[in-house]
Amino acid sequence: MKKRFIVFSLLIIFILSVPAFAGAPTVAVDKTVKRVLDVLRDPKLKSPAAKEIKKEKLRVIYKDMFDEMEFSRRTLTRNWKKFSPKQQEEFVNLFEQVLEKSYIDKILDYSNEKIVFYKETMIQEDKAEVQSKIVTSSKEIPIDYRMILKDGKWKVYDVVVENVSLVQNYRTQFNEILADGTPEQLLQTLRKKVKAQ
Amino acid sequence: MRYYLLLIILFMTLAAVYAPVHCVAAEPEQVPTDAVSFQPVLPVQTGDVPAKSSTQPADVVSDEYDEEDDFDYEDEPFAEERVTIADPIEPFNRVMHRVNDRMYFRLLKPVAQGYKAVVPEPARISVKNFFSNMGYPARFLSCLLQADFSGAAVETGRFAINTLWGIGGLMDPAAGEELGLRKQDTDLGQTLGVYGVGHGLYIVWPFFGPSSPRDSISLVGNQFLSPLSYFYPWYVSPGVIGIQVINATSLRIGEYESLIGAAIDPYVAMRNAYIQYRMKEVNARKAKSLLFKSSEASHPVADTTSRTEN
Protein backbone atom coordinates (compact mmCIF):
# COMPACT_ATOMS: atom_id res chain seq x y z
CA MET A 1 0.00 0.00 0.00
CA LYS A 2 2.72 2.32 1.05
CA LYS A 3 4.73 1.43 -2.01
CA ARG A 4 1.84 2.12 -4.27
CA PHE A 5 1.36 5.48 -2.67
CA ILE A 6 4.98 6.39 -3.24
CA VAL A 7 4.82 5.35 -6.87
CA PHE A 8 1.63 7.30 -7.31
CA SER A 9 2.99 10.46 -5.76
CA LEU A 10 6.16 10.19 -7.82
CA LEU A 11 4.02 9.94 -10.90
CA ILE A 12 2.14 13.05 -9.93
CA ILE A 13 5.35 14.92 -9.30
CA PHE A 14 6.64 13.98 -12.74
CA ILE A 15 3.45 15.01 -14.43
CA LEU A 16 3.26 18.32 -12.63
CA SER A 17 6.87 19.18 -13.18
CA VAL A 18 6.47 19.33 -16.95
CA PRO A 19 6.41 23.06 -17.58
CA ALA A 20 3.10 24.22 -18.95
CA PHE A 21 4.62 26.28 -21.76
CA ALA A 22 6.97 23.68 -23.18
CA GLY A 23 5.50 23.18 -26.63
CA ALA A 24 7.38 21.85 -29.62
CA PRO A 25 9.08 25.16 -30.50
CA THR A 26 10.43 25.66 -27.01
CA VAL A 27 11.66 22.11 -26.88
CA ALA A 28 13.47 22.66 -30.19
CA VAL A 29 15.23 25.84 -29.01
CA ASP A 30 15.95 24.41 -25.61
CA LYS A 31 17.58 21.35 -27.15
CA THR A 32 19.74 23.48 -29.40
CA VAL A 33 20.80 25.76 -26.57
CA LYS A 34 21.73 22.70 -24.52
CA ARG A 35 23.83 21.41 -27.40
CA VAL A 36 25.58 24.77 -27.63
CA LEU A 37 26.23 24.79 -23.90
CA ASP A 38 27.60 21.25 -24.07
CA VAL A 39 30.14 22.40 -26.62
CA LEU A 40 31.03 25.50 -24.62
CA ARG A 41 31.43 23.58 -21.37
CA ASP A 42 33.26 20.65 -22.85
CA PRO A 43 36.41 20.31 -20.69
CA LYS A 44 38.26 18.75 -23.62
CA LEU A 45 37.80 21.94 -25.62
CA LYS A 46 38.92 24.31 -22.87
CA SER A 47 42.30 25.14 -24.40
CA PRO A 48 42.54 28.17 -26.68
CA ALA A 49 43.82 25.89 -29.41
CA ALA A 50 40.48 24.13 -29.52
CA LYS A 51 38.69 27.33 -30.46
CA GLU A 52 38.46 26.37 -34.09
CA ILE A 53 37.01 22.96 -33.23
CA LYS A 54 34.45 24.67 -31.05
CA LYS A 55 33.56 27.07 -33.85
CA GLU A 56 33.16 24.20 -36.26
CA LYS A 57 30.87 22.36 -33.86
CA LEU A 58 28.80 25.48 -33.26
CA ARG A 59 28.50 26.04 -36.98
CA VAL A 60 26.92 22.62 -37.34
CA ILE A 61 24.42 23.40 -34.61
CA TYR A 62 23.68 26.78 -36.11
CA LYS A 63 22.86 25.31 -39.50
CA ASP A 64 20.58 22.86 -37.81
CA MET A 65 18.77 25.53 -35.84
CA PHE A 66 18.47 28.43 -38.27
CA ASP A 67 16.55 28.66 -41.46
CA GLU A 68 19.07 30.77 -43.33
CA MET A 69 17.01 30.95 -46.45
CA GLU A 70 13.99 32.25 -44.60
CA PHE A 71 16.18 34.67 -42.72
CA SER A 72 17.78 36.04 -45.88
CA ARG A 73 14.52 36.31 -47.75
CA ARG A 74 12.91 38.15 -44.93
CA THR A 75 15.66 40.71 -44.72
CA LEU A 76 15.44 41.38 -48.46
CA THR A 77 11.65 41.04 -48.87
CA ARG A 78 10.69 42.40 -52.31
CA ASN A 79 14.28 42.93 -53.29
CA TRP A 80 14.87 39.18 -53.19
CA LYS A 81 13.40 38.92 -56.67
CA LYS A 82 15.93 41.39 -58.02
CA PHE A 83 18.73 38.98 -57.20
CA SER A 84 19.66 36.32 -59.69
CA PRO A 85 19.74 32.78 -58.25
CA LYS A 86 23.51 32.93 -58.18
CA GLN A 87 23.43 36.24 -56.36
CA GLN A 88 20.87 34.86 -53.94
CA GLU A 89 23.13 31.98 -53.13
CA GLU A 90 26.05 34.27 -52.59
CA PHE A 91 23.96 36.59 -50.49
CA VAL A 92 22.83 33.81 -48.14
CA ASN A 93 26.41 32.71 -47.87
CA LEU A 94 27.92 36.13 -47.17
CA PHE A 95 25.18 37.11 -44.78
CA GLU A 96 25.78 33.98 -42.77
CA GLN A 97 29.48 34.77 -42.54
CA VAL A 98 28.75 38.32 -41.40
CA LEU A 99 26.52 37.00 -38.63
CA GLU A 100 28.93 34.29 -37.61
CA LYS A 101 31.89 36.60 -37.36
CA SER A 102 29.89 39.19 -35.43
CA TYR A 103 28.44 36.90 -32.83
CA ILE A 104 30.78 33.94 -32.44
CA ASP A 105 33.03 35.67 -29.92
CA LYS A 106 30.03 36.69 -27.84
CA ILE A 107 28.93 33.07 -27.74
CA LEU A 108 32.40 31.78 -26.94
CA ASP A 109 32.60 34.32 -24.11
CA TYR A 110 29.72 32.60 -22.38
CA SER A 111 30.50 31.97 -18.73
CA ASN A 112 27.70 30.09 -17.06
CA GLU A 113 24.99 32.73 -17.18
CA LYS A 114 21.56 31.35 -16.57
CA ILE A 115 19.28 30.94 -19.56
CA VAL A 116 15.57 30.81 -18.83
CA PHE A 117 12.80 29.98 -21.27
CA TYR A 118 9.65 31.43 -19.87
CA LYS A 119 7.04 31.83 -22.56
CA GLU A 120 5.91 30.42 -25.85
CA THR A 121 3.37 32.04 -28.11
CA MET A 122 1.82 30.39 -31.12
CA ILE A 123 1.30 33.13 -33.70
CA GLN A 124 -0.04 30.95 -36.46
CA GLU A 125 -0.24 27.24 -37.12
CA ASP A 126 3.34 27.20 -38.30
CA LYS A 127 4.81 30.19 -36.49
CA ALA A 128 5.77 30.63 -32.89
CA GLU A 129 7.73 32.90 -30.65
CA VAL A 130 9.80 31.51 -27.81
CA GLN A 131 10.84 34.02 -25.20
CA SER A 132 13.93 33.54 -23.11
CA LYS A 133 16.28 35.61 -21.08
CA ILE A 134 19.90 35.47 -20.10
CA VAL A 135 20.33 36.36 -16.45
CA THR A 136 23.66 37.87 -15.43
CA SER A 137 24.69 39.37 -12.14
CA SER A 138 23.86 42.90 -13.20
CA LYS A 139 21.11 42.54 -15.76
CA GLU A 140 18.69 40.40 -17.72
CA ILE A 141 18.90 40.24 -21.49
CA PRO A 142 15.65 39.18 -23.16
CA ILE A 143 16.12 37.06 -26.27
CA ASP A 144 13.14 35.91 -28.31
CA TYR A 145 13.29 33.32 -31.05
CA ARG A 146 10.79 33.50 -33.87
CA MET A 147 10.26 30.11 -35.36
CA ILE A 148 8.70 28.54 -38.37
CA LEU A 149 7.55 24.98 -38.86
CA LYS A 150 8.95 23.42 -42.01
CA ASP A 151 8.74 19.73 -42.79
CA GLY A 152 7.84 18.97 -39.22
CA LYS A 153 10.83 20.80 -37.82
CA TRP A 154 10.87 24.06 -35.94
CA LYS A 155 13.53 26.42 -37.17
CA VAL A 156 14.52 29.90 -36.13
CA TYR A 157 14.03 32.66 -38.70
CA ASP A 158 14.44 35.73 -36.53
CA VAL A 159 16.07 36.56 -33.23
CA VAL A 160 14.85 39.47 -31.15
CA VAL A 161 17.51 40.71 -28.76
CA GLU A 162 16.40 43.30 -26.22
CA ASN A 163 13.29 44.07 -28.23
CA VAL A 164 15.22 44.56 -31.45
CA SER A 165 14.43 42.16 -34.25
CA LEU A 166 17.52 41.25 -36.26
CA VAL A 167 15.54 40.68 -39.45
CA GLN A 168 13.93 44.09 -39.26
CA ASN A 169 17.21 45.73 -38.40
CA TYR A 170 18.98 44.25 -41.39
CA ARG A 171 15.95 44.89 -43.57
CA THR A 172 16.18 48.64 -43.08
CA GLN A 173 19.89 48.56 -43.77
CA PHE A 174 19.53 46.53 -46.96
CA ASN A 175 16.56 48.61 -48.07
CA GLU A 176 18.60 51.75 -47.74
CA ILE A 177 21.43 50.30 -49.81
CA LEU A 178 19.10 48.82 -52.44
CA ALA A 179 16.99 51.98 -52.68
CA ASP A 180 19.51 53.41 -55.10
CA GLY A 181 21.93 50.56 -55.48
CA THR A 182 22.00 47.28 -57.34
CA PRO A 183 22.12 43.81 -55.80
CA GLU A 184 25.72 43.62 -56.95
CA GLN A 185 26.57 46.70 -54.89
CA LEU A 186 25.01 45.16 -51.81
CA LEU A 187 26.98 41.98 -52.35
CA GLN A 188 30.10 44.07 -52.77
CA THR A 189 29.43 45.77 -49.44
CA LEU A 190 28.93 42.41 -47.79
CA ARG A 191 32.12 41.00 -49.29
CA LYS A 192 34.05 43.95 -47.93
CA LYS A 193 32.43 43.50 -44.55
CA VAL A 194 33.35 39.82 -44.39
CA LYS A 195 36.91 40.60 -45.37
CA ALA A 196 37.26 43.38 -42.82
CA GLN A 197 35.94 41.36 -39.90
CA MET B 1 32.94 74.69 -12.95
CA ARG B 2 36.14 73.20 -14.22
CA TYR B 3 34.46 69.90 -15.12
CA TYR B 4 31.81 71.65 -17.10
CA LEU B 5 34.23 73.74 -19.11
CA LEU B 6 36.47 70.77 -19.66
CA LEU B 7 33.63 68.69 -21.05
CA ILE B 8 32.49 71.47 -23.37
CA ILE B 9 35.99 72.07 -24.68
CA LEU B 10 36.53 68.36 -25.13
CA PHE B 11 33.35 67.96 -27.05
CA MET B 12 34.04 70.96 -29.26
CA THR B 13 37.47 69.68 -30.14
CA LEU B 14 36.18 66.25 -30.94
CA ALA B 15 33.42 67.69 -33.05
CA ALA B 16 35.82 69.96 -34.88
CA VAL B 17 38.29 67.17 -35.51
CA TYR B 18 35.89 64.53 -36.70
CA ALA B 19 33.06 66.41 -38.30
CA PRO B 20 34.76 67.52 -41.52
CA VAL B 21 36.39 64.14 -42.09
CA HIS B 22 33.20 62.16 -42.06
CA CYS B 23 31.06 64.55 -44.01
CA VAL B 24 32.67 63.13 -47.11
CA ALA B 25 31.07 59.85 -48.00
CA ALA B 26 33.57 57.10 -48.55
CA GLU B 27 33.78 56.03 -52.18
CA PRO B 28 33.19 52.30 -52.41
CA GLU B 29 36.38 50.85 -53.73
CA GLN B 30 36.27 47.91 -56.04
CA VAL B 31 37.31 44.63 -54.55
CA PRO B 32 38.05 41.92 -57.08
CA THR B 33 35.31 39.34 -56.89
CA ASP B 34 37.59 36.37 -57.07
CA ALA B 35 39.36 37.48 -53.91
CA VAL B 36 36.46 36.18 -51.89
CA SER B 37 36.33 32.49 -51.25
CA PHE B 38 32.90 31.00 -51.15
CA GLN B 39 31.87 28.52 -48.61
CA PRO B 40 29.38 26.18 -50.10
CA VAL B 41 26.11 26.09 -48.26
CA LEU B 42 26.10 22.69 -46.66
CA PRO B 43 22.92 21.83 -44.90
CA VAL B 44 23.74 19.47 -42.10
CA GLN B 45 20.34 18.02 -41.53
CA THR B 46 18.83 16.58 -44.63
CA GLY B 47 15.97 17.94 -46.61
CA ASP B 48 14.46 20.64 -44.55
CA VAL B 49 16.99 23.36 -45.24
CA PRO B 50 15.62 25.34 -48.17
CA ALA B 51 19.12 26.59 -49.00
CA LYS B 52 19.65 23.18 -50.49
CA SER B 53 17.70 24.25 -53.50
CA SER B 54 20.56 26.54 -54.46
CA THR B 55 22.38 23.55 -55.86
CA GLN B 56 19.44 22.79 -58.10
CA PRO B 57 18.34 24.60 -61.26
CA ALA B 58 17.56 28.26 -60.87
CA ASP B 59 13.79 28.14 -61.17
CA VAL B 60 13.45 25.81 -58.21
CA VAL B 61 14.14 28.69 -55.87
CA SER B 62 11.39 30.83 -57.30
CA ASP B 63 9.03 27.90 -57.74
CA GLU B 64 9.33 27.11 -54.11
CA TYR B 65 7.83 30.47 -53.27
CA ASP B 66 5.64 30.75 -56.32
CA GLU B 67 2.31 30.87 -54.56
CA GLU B 68 3.52 33.80 -52.54
CA ASP B 69 4.59 35.88 -55.47
CA ASP B 70 3.40 39.09 -53.92
CA PHE B 71 4.32 37.87 -50.51
CA ASP B 72 6.00 40.85 -49.03
CA TYR B 73 5.84 39.78 -45.41
CA GLU B 74 3.36 42.60 -45.01
CA ASP B 75 0.67 40.28 -43.74
CA GLU B 76 3.06 38.84 -41.23
CA PRO B 77 2.02 38.37 -37.63
CA PHE B 78 4.82 40.70 -36.71
CA ALA B 79 4.08 43.14 -39.50
CA GLU B 80 2.65 45.76 -37.20
CA GLU B 81 6.10 46.15 -35.78
CA ARG B 82 7.49 47.51 -39.00
CA VAL B 83 8.52 50.92 -37.95
CA THR B 84 10.13 53.81 -39.68
CA ILE B 85 11.15 57.26 -38.61
CA ALA B 86 11.56 60.45 -40.57
CA ASP B 87 15.17 61.49 -40.83
CA PRO B 88 15.28 64.91 -42.50
CA ILE B 89 18.48 65.94 -40.76
CA GLU B 90 20.36 62.78 -41.67
CA PRO B 91 23.63 64.53 -42.61
CA PHE B 92 23.80 66.17 -39.19
CA ASN B 93 22.80 62.93 -37.48
CA ARG B 94 25.44 60.94 -39.29
CA VAL B 95 28.10 63.38 -38.16
CA MET B 96 26.86 63.20 -34.58
CA HIS B 97 26.77 59.43 -34.81
CA ARG B 98 30.42 59.48 -35.82
CA VAL B 99 31.32 61.90 -33.06
CA ASN B 100 29.58 59.76 -30.45
CA ASP B 101 31.14 56.63 -31.85
CA ARG B 102 34.63 58.10 -31.62
CA MET B 103 33.91 59.48 -28.19
CA TYR B 104 32.81 56.06 -27.04
CA PHE B 105 35.88 54.23 -28.31
CA ARG B 106 38.48 56.86 -27.53
CA LEU B 107 37.18 58.31 -24.29
CA LEU B 108 34.25 56.62 -22.60
CA LYS B 109 35.29 53.02 -23.13
CA PRO B 110 38.89 53.36 -21.92
CA VAL B 111 37.73 55.33 -18.89
CA ALA B 112 34.99 52.81 -18.14
CA GLN B 113 37.47 49.96 -18.50
CA GLY B 114 39.84 51.62 -16.06
CA TYR B 115 36.98 52.18 -13.66
CA LYS B 116 35.89 48.57 -14.09
CA ALA B 117 39.38 47.37 -13.24
CA VAL B 118 39.42 49.34 -10.00
CA VAL B 119 35.86 49.05 -8.76
CA PRO B 120 34.49 45.53 -8.17
CA GLU B 121 31.24 44.58 -9.85
CA PRO B 122 29.00 44.50 -6.73
CA ALA B 123 30.01 48.08 -5.98
CA ARG B 124 29.24 49.14 -9.52
CA ILE B 125 25.85 47.47 -9.33
CA SER B 126 25.22 49.40 -6.12
CA VAL B 127 26.09 52.66 -7.80
CA LYS B 128 23.73 51.76 -10.61
CA ASN B 129 21.00 50.96 -8.07
CA PHE B 130 21.57 54.26 -6.34
CA PHE B 131 21.09 56.31 -9.49
CA SER B 132 18.21 54.15 -10.53
CA ASN B 133 16.52 54.80 -7.18
CA MET B 134 16.92 58.52 -7.76
CA GLY B 135 14.96 58.14 -10.96
CA TYR B 136 11.87 57.29 -8.91
CA PRO B 137 10.01 60.62 -9.28
CA ALA B 138 10.21 60.53 -13.06
CA ARG B 139 9.02 56.92 -13.21
CA PHE B 140 6.28 57.52 -10.67
CA LEU B 141 4.98 60.54 -12.54
CA SER B 142 5.13 58.68 -15.83
CA CYS B 143 3.16 55.75 -14.40
CA LEU B 144 0.53 58.12 -13.06
CA LEU B 145 0.21 59.98 -16.34
CA GLN B 146 -0.13 56.69 -18.18
CA ALA B 147 -2.98 55.64 -15.86
CA ASP B 148 -0.87 52.71 -14.70
CA PHE B 149 -1.73 53.02 -11.04
CA SER B 150 -0.40 49.66 -9.98
CA GLY B 151 2.90 50.61 -11.59
CA ALA B 152 2.91 53.87 -9.65
CA ALA B 153 2.23 51.97 -6.43
CA VAL B 154 5.00 49.48 -7.17
CA GLU B 155 7.43 52.32 -7.79
CA THR B 156 6.49 54.05 -4.55
CA GLY B 157 6.87 50.81 -2.62
CA ARG B 158 10.23 50.22 -4.23
CA PHE B 159 11.44 53.70 -3.40
CA ALA B 160 10.43 53.39 0.25
CA ILE B 161 11.86 49.91 0.71
CA ASN B 162 15.07 50.49 -1.18
CA THR B 163 15.74 53.84 0.43
CA LEU B 164 15.11 52.58 3.97
CA TRP B 165 16.29 48.97 3.86
CA GLY B 166 18.47 49.19 0.80
CA ILE B 167 20.91 51.68 2.41
CA GLY B 168 19.67 54.74 0.57
CA GLY B 169 19.07 52.85 -2.64
CA LEU B 170 22.43 51.09 -2.91
CA MET B 171 20.72 47.74 -2.73
CA ASP B 172 17.55 46.59 -4.42
CA PRO B 173 15.78 44.37 -1.87
CA ALA B 174 12.38 45.26 -3.34
CA ALA B 175 13.12 43.30 -6.50
CA GLY B 176 14.09 40.22 -4.50
CA GLU B 177 12.06 37.05 -4.68
CA GLU B 178 10.11 37.72 -1.49
CA LEU B 179 8.73 41.06 -2.62
CA GLY B 180 9.03 40.86 -6.37
CA LEU B 181 8.57 44.58 -6.95
CA ARG B 182 10.30 45.08 -10.27
CA LYS B 183 11.39 48.42 -11.57
CA GLN B 184 8.88 49.99 -13.95
CA ASP B 185 10.98 50.87 -16.95
CA THR B 186 9.28 53.99 -18.09
CA ASP B 187 9.89 57.64 -18.77
CA LEU B 188 8.12 60.74 -19.98
CA GLY B 189 8.84 60.13 -23.65
CA GLN B 190 7.07 56.79 -23.39
CA THR B 191 4.17 58.49 -21.67
CA LEU B 192 3.66 60.72 -24.69
CA GLY B 193 4.03 57.64 -26.87
CA VAL B 194 1.29 55.86 -24.94
CA TYR B 195 -1.04 58.73 -25.82
CA GLY B 196 -0.17 58.39 -29.48
CA VAL B 197 2.46 61.08 -29.87
CA GLY B 198 4.92 60.01 -32.54
CA HIS B 199 8.66 60.48 -32.60
CA GLY B 200 8.51 63.29 -35.14
CA LEU B 201 12.03 62.93 -36.44
CA TYR B 202 15.24 61.21 -35.58
CA ILE B 203 17.89 63.19 -33.74
CA VAL B 204 21.29 62.02 -32.62
CA TRP B 205 22.35 64.20 -29.73
CA PRO B 206 25.99 64.58 -28.89
CA PHE B 207 26.69 62.51 -25.74
CA PHE B 208 23.12 61.30 -25.32
CA GLY B 209 22.87 59.52 -28.64
CA PRO B 210 19.74 58.45 -30.52
CA SER B 211 16.61 60.36 -29.65
CA SER B 212 13.67 62.29 -31.05
CA PRO B 213 11.89 65.46 -30.01
CA ARG B 214 9.41 63.32 -28.10
CA ASP B 215 11.99 61.26 -26.28
CA SER B 216 14.18 64.25 -25.55
CA ILE B 217 11.52 65.22 -23.02
CA SER B 218 12.76 62.30 -20.93
CA LEU B 219 16.32 63.59 -21.03
CA VAL B 220 15.25 66.94 -19.67
CA GLY B 221 12.51 65.62 -17.41
CA ASN B 222 14.63 62.96 -15.73
CA GLN B 223 17.24 65.51 -14.83
CA PHE B 224 14.64 67.97 -13.65
CA LEU B 225 12.79 65.41 -11.54
CA SER B 226 15.82 63.72 -10.04
CA PRO B 227 16.21 64.66 -6.37
CA LEU B 228 19.95 64.58 -6.89
CA SER B 229 19.74 67.68 -9.04
CA TYR B 230 18.67 69.68 -6.01
CA PHE B 231 21.36 68.54 -3.62
CA TYR B 232 24.38 70.08 -5.22
CA PRO B 233 25.21 73.26 -7.08
CA TRP B 234 24.38 73.16 -10.80
CA TYR B 235 27.95 73.09 -11.99
CA VAL B 236 28.62 69.73 -10.34
CA SER B 237 25.92 68.00 -12.34
CA PRO B 238 28.05 67.18 -15.41
CA GLY B 239 30.42 65.41 -13.04
CA VAL B 240 27.61 63.43 -11.47
CA ILE B 241 26.17 62.54 -14.87
CA GLY B 242 29.68 61.58 -15.90
CA ILE B 243 30.01 59.13 -13.02
CA GLN B 244 26.60 57.75 -13.79
CA VAL B 245 27.46 57.26 -17.44
CA ILE B 246 30.87 55.73 -16.76
CA ASN B 247 29.38 53.38 -14.20
CA ALA B 248 26.57 52.32 -16.51
CA THR B 249 29.01 51.84 -19.38
CA SER B 250 31.31 49.68 -17.27
CA LEU B 251 28.43 47.24 -16.83
CA ARG B 252 27.57 47.19 -20.51
CA ILE B 253 30.93 47.09 -22.26
CA GLY B 254 30.64 45.07 -25.41
CA GLU B 255 27.00 45.66 -26.18
CA TYR B 256 27.47 48.70 -28.36
CA GLU B 257 30.43 47.01 -30.03
CA SER B 258 28.42 43.99 -31.03
CA LEU B 259 25.59 46.07 -32.46
CA ILE B 260 28.00 48.16 -34.50
CA GLY B 261 30.20 45.21 -35.39
CA ALA B 262 27.36 43.22 -36.89
CA ALA B 263 25.92 46.13 -38.84
CA ILE B 264 26.36 46.77 -42.53
CA ASP B 265 25.49 50.44 -42.06
CA PRO B 266 25.97 51.16 -38.36
CA TYR B 267 24.07 54.43 -38.51
CA VAL B 268 20.95 52.86 -40.00
CA ALA B 269 21.29 49.85 -37.69
CA MET B 270 21.42 52.11 -34.67
CA ARG B 271 18.47 54.20 -35.82
CA ASN B 272 16.34 51.16 -36.45
CA ALA B 273 17.34 49.49 -33.18
CA TYR B 274 16.41 52.65 -31.34
CA ILE B 275 12.93 52.99 -32.80
CA GLN B 276 12.20 49.28 -32.52
CA TYR B 277 13.25 49.34 -28.89
CA ARG B 278 11.22 52.41 -28.04
CA MET B 279 8.16 51.13 -29.83
CA LYS B 280 8.16 47.85 -27.92
CA GLU B 281 8.50 49.75 -24.68
CA VAL B 282 5.60 52.04 -25.52
CA ASN B 283 3.45 49.04 -26.45
CA ALA B 284 4.37 47.31 -23.22
CA ARG B 285 3.35 50.42 -21.29
CA LYS B 286 0.11 50.69 -23.23
CA ALA B 287 -0.75 47.16 -22.21
CA LYS B 288 -0.38 48.18 -18.56
CA SER B 289 -2.36 51.38 -18.81
CA LEU B 290 -5.94 51.33 -17.56
CA LEU B 291 -6.99 53.55 -20.45
CA PHE B 292 -5.61 51.41 -23.24
CA LYS B 293 -5.56 47.93 -21.76
CA SER B 294 -8.70 46.57 -23.41
CA SER B 295 -7.92 47.87 -26.89
CA GLU B 296 -4.49 46.35 -26.83
CA ALA B 297 -4.97 42.80 -28.04
CA SER B 298 -2.02 40.59 -27.37
CA HIS B 299 -1.02 37.46 -29.23
CA PRO B 300 -3.05 34.37 -28.40
CA VAL B 301 -1.33 32.37 -25.75
CA ALA B 302 0.17 29.08 -26.75
CA ASP B 303 -2.12 26.14 -26.91
CA THR B 304 0.63 23.76 -26.03
CA THR B 305 -1.44 20.69 -25.36
CA SER B 306 -2.66 20.42 -28.92
CA ARG B 307 0.75 21.21 -30.35
CA THR B 308 2.76 18.55 -28.66
CA GLU B 309 0.62 15.84 -30.17
CA ASN B 310 1.56 16.36 -33.79
Percent of chain B with pLDDT over 90: 43
Q: Residue A123 has what pLDDT?
A: 84
Q: Flag whether A9 is in a domain.
A: no
Q: Flag whether B1 is in a domain.
A: no
Counting the structural domains of chain A, the total is 1
Torsions phi, psi for A118 (to 5 deg): -125, -10
Q: Flag whether B75 is in a domain.
A: no
The whole-angstrom distance between B3's CA and the closest CA on chain A is 29
Are A24 and B254 an interchain contact pair (Cβ–Cβ within 8 Å)? no
Counting the structural domains of chain B, the total is 1
| Maximum mean pLDDT: which of B25-39, B161-175, B289-303 | B161-175
| Maximum mean pLDDT: which of A35-49, B64-78, B107-121, B276-290 | B107-121
Q: Residue B70: pLDDT above 70?
A: no
Domain of residue B86 covers 81-288
Q: Residue A22 has what pLDDT?
A: 59
Q: Flag whether B61 is in a domain.
A: no
Q: Residue B16: pLDDT above 70?
A: no
Q: How far apart are CA B9 and CA B277, in angstroms?
A: 32
Which CATH number does the domain housing residue A27 bear?
3.10.450.710
Q: What is the mean pLDDT of the segment spanning B191-203?
A: 92
Give whole-number Cα distances, B212 to A7, B93, B148, in Å. Answer: 62, 11, 24
Contact list, B53 vs chain A (CB under 8 Å):
69
Q: Flag whether B55 is in a domain.
A: no
Q: What is the mean pLDDT of the segment spanning B6-19?
A: 44
Q: Flag whether B31 is in a domain.
A: no
pLDDT in tens, B207-248: 889 999 999 999 888 888 888 888 777 788 788 888 999 999
Query: Which regions in chain A score pLDDT beneath 70?
Result: 1-2, 5, 7-22
Q: What is the mean pLDDT of the segment spanning B156-181?
A: 90
Across the strands, what pairs with A146? A129, A158
3-state secondary structure of A145: strand
**What is the residue-averaged pLDDT of chain B?**
75
Q: Flag whether A8 is in a domain.
A: no
Model confidence band, residue B15 (pLDDT cutoffs 50, 70, 90): very low
Q: Residue B107 has what pLDDT?
A: 94
Q: What is the mean pLDDT of the segment spanning B145-154?
A: 93
Q: Flag whether A12 is in a domain.
A: no
CB of A23 within 8 A of CB of B304?
yes
Q: Flag whether B143 is in a domain.
A: yes
Lowest mean pLDDT among A4-18, B133-147, B262-276: A4-18
Q: Which of A148, A141, A142, A143 is nearest to A159 (CA)?
A: A143
Q: Which of A113, A119, A159 is nearest to A139 (CA)?
A: A113
Q: Flag whether B255 is in a domain.
A: yes
Q: Flag whether A125 is in a domain.
A: yes
The whole-angstrom distance between A164's CA and the closest CA on chain B is 6
Q: Flag whether A6 is in a domain.
A: no
Q: Interface pTM (ipTM) of the complex?
A: 0.81
Q: Flag whether B308 is in a domain.
A: no
Domain of residue A69 covers 21-196
Model confidence band, residue B118 (pLDDT cutoffs 50, 70, 90): very high
Q: Flag whether A15 is in a domain.
A: no
Q: Residue B129 has what pLDDT?
A: 93
Q: Flag whether A1 is in a domain.
A: no
Q: Which of B134, B148, B114 is nearest to B253 (CA)?
A: B114
Q: Flag whether A50 is in a domain.
A: yes
Model confidence band, residue B71 (pLDDT cutoffs 50, 70, 90): very low
Compare all CA atoms of chain B with the CA of A149 and give the residue at the minimum distance.
Answer: B48
pTM of structure? 0.74
Q: Residue B47: pLDDT above 70?
A: no
Are A195 and B36 an interchain contact pair (Cβ–Cβ within 8 Å)? yes
CB of B214 within 8 A of CB of B197?
yes
Task: Mutate one of B29, B30, B39, B49 to test the A interface: name it (highest A CB count within 10 A).
Answer: B49
The dihedral built from the CA positions of residue A35, A38, A39 and A44, taken in this order, carries a sign that is negative
